[in-house]
Homo-oligomer: A and B are copies of this chain.
Amino acid sequence: MKQVIAVMASVMLIGSSLQAQNDDVLVKITPDIPYLYVTHMGQKVKIGRIQDTTNRLTDDYTKTSRACPPFCIHPTKVNDKVKTIAEVEMAHFLKKKVNSGKGVVIDARLKSWYELETIPSAVNIPYTVMDSGTKKTAEKVFRLLGMQIRKDGSWDFSKAKELAVFDNGVWCDQSRRLIDGLLKYGYPAQKIVYYRDGFQGWKLLGLTTVVQKENVK
């Protein structure tokens, strides 16, 4: 609790100096958002973009030709009822929903990928958990996401968090499989969004990532 208050106080202090520095940021996230702060595993993290205009992506996310099938390009929508979003919407989601506790970014990849490198503030729900999960598993996951169980045993999603789900990129089907699993057990579609560009899109725009374990991949 003390840590949360300390973080809040420091965020407010920094917030006022942000305005002055606003104009110094060459590569902003959006015209109104030069950078933003989130909490990742209890630590405050600044999400911004790499400021070096000559910087290029050179890692495996520049590979163009993963075999299809199985790594086929996804359509724009993963499901008719689930909205597809991109980076600008992610920035607003982080600022407004995640920071107020109403939303969560979900990394749908396997734990090893999440630990290697992920989007700041993201929580890991590997797609396999919901893909082959039981109703019992779903209940556990949903409770963590704010679902409540009524006296009659039915599930109340009114306080359940809004979720922004991502995986490796447009050719990765793990988000879809996680989302299908969530919908199957009743998570409200209007509370789920699909960040289609995923980790590849995030890195391609030089956005901040958190590296948790050094790993050769």
Contacts and interface: CB of A to CB of B under 8 A. Distances in A.
Interface of A: 26-31, 49-58, 62-69, 72-76, 84-89, 170-171, 196-197, 200-201, 203-206
Given A52-B65, A55-B63, 18 more contacts: A27-B65, A30-B73, A51-B65, A53-B66, A55-B64, A56-B62, A56-B64, A58-B58, A62-B204, A64-B204, A64-B205, A73-B87, A74-B86, A86-B170, A86-B196, A170-B205, A171-B205, A200-B204
A67 B86 contact: no
Copy total for this chain: 2
A203 B56 contact: no
B73 A29 contact: yes
Contacts of A200: 204
10 contacts: A28-B69, A28-B72, A30-B73, A31-B72, A54-B63, A62-B204, A64-B205, A73-B87, A75-B88, A87-B170
Dominant secondary structure at the A interface: loop
B26 A67 contact: yes
